[in-house]
């Protein structure tokens, strides 16, 4: 594996990388039939200046571990967070016919949970993920691996002060809804059809006090079993797809 570069596995993830104009430095392609199947992807990478290398499947398997490489691995510069300024610029230029759907992660420090949250965000059509500068997982190679391409396709904005950023979101007409076990309202009672920022807290501790106070409202999931809470990435997927259901008029 080339030193100083992140590995990106799978056709979807590599295509997302190329489509955003971030051409890999090196592209590994599996020997055999995969070369023909991946010809278009290889051509795109080559045009972007990538060095193309062919490797046997067992070598890609060892590198990918539990991830699905689908015969292709791209090596690229580490991802960087989007700036807070770019978030405000994006909201100022927002097309009015499409209400923004944002995911806010407060205190999610586990890279596997972070990657899984990004994957759910991509699947739900989230327009951006917001994380604080402190008490947040890095945007590293493990996150990219777990996210399966979502880290390349969903903008992740890093803000200096999360409570202040939530207050600024309200100035743009975004309704901020937090999730908390002590909430009185259920998730399915909330209105996510308009401009929405959904705030998820860390497992165990949940949202920090200032974050909770910055929310317009709190909701909880109806828990019918013996467990008191769900993994944050699972809860994130459930909450986001409730928003999707409402926005589709379901």
Query: Is 230 marked within a binding site?
Result: yes
Q: Which residues pair with 101 in a beta bridge?
A: 196
In 3-state terms, what secondary structure has residue 176?
A: strand
Q: Are 185 and 177 in contact (CB under 8 A)?
A: no
Q: Are the CB atoms for 144 and 111 separated by under 8 Å?
A: no
Is residue 166 a known part of a binding site? no
Cα separation, 7 vs 75, in Å, equals 5
Q: What is the dihedral of CA 222, 227, 228, 231, to 10 degrees?
A: -90
Determine the Cα–Cα distance for residues 197 and 153; give it in Å rounded to an integer. 19
Instruction: Tell me 68's DSSP state.
Output: -
3-state secondary structure of 55: strand
Is 221 annotated in a binding site? The answer is yes
First-to-last CA distance in the chain?
46
Annotated binding site: 201, 221, 230
Annotated binding site for S-adenosyl-L-methionine: 201, 221, 230
């Amino acid at each position: 594996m080339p030193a100083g570069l992140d590995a990106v596995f799978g056709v979807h993830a590599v295509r997302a990388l190329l489509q955003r104009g971030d051409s890999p430095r090196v592209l590994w392609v599996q020997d055999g039939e995969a070369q023909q199947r991946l010809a278009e992807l290889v051509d795109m990478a080559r045009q972007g200046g990538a060095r193309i290398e062919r490797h046997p499947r067992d070598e890609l398997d060892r590198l990918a571990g539990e991830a699905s490489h689908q015969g292709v691995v791209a090596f690229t510069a580490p991802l960087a967070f989007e700036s807070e300024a770019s978030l405000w610029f994006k909201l100022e230029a927002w097309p009015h016919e499409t209400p923004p759907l944002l995911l806010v992660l407060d205190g999610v420090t586990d890279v596997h949970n972070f990657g899984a949250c990004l994957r759910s965000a991509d699947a739900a059509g989230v327009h951006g993920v917001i994380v604080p500068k402190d008490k947040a997982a890095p945007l590293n190679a493990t996150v990219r691996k777990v996210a399966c391409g979502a880290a390349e396709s969903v903008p992740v904005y890093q803000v200096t002060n999360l409570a202040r950023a939530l207050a600024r979101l309200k100035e743009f007409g975004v309704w901020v809804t937090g999730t908390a076990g002590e909430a009185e309202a259920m998730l399915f009672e909330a209105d996510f059809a308009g401009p929405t920022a959904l705030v998820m807290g860390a497992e165990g501790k949940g949202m920090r006090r200032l974050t909770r106070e910055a929310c317009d409202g709190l909701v909880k999931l109806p828990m019918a079993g013996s467990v008191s809470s769900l993994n944050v990435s699972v809860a994130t997927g459930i909450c986001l797809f409730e928003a999707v259901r409402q926005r589709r008029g379901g």
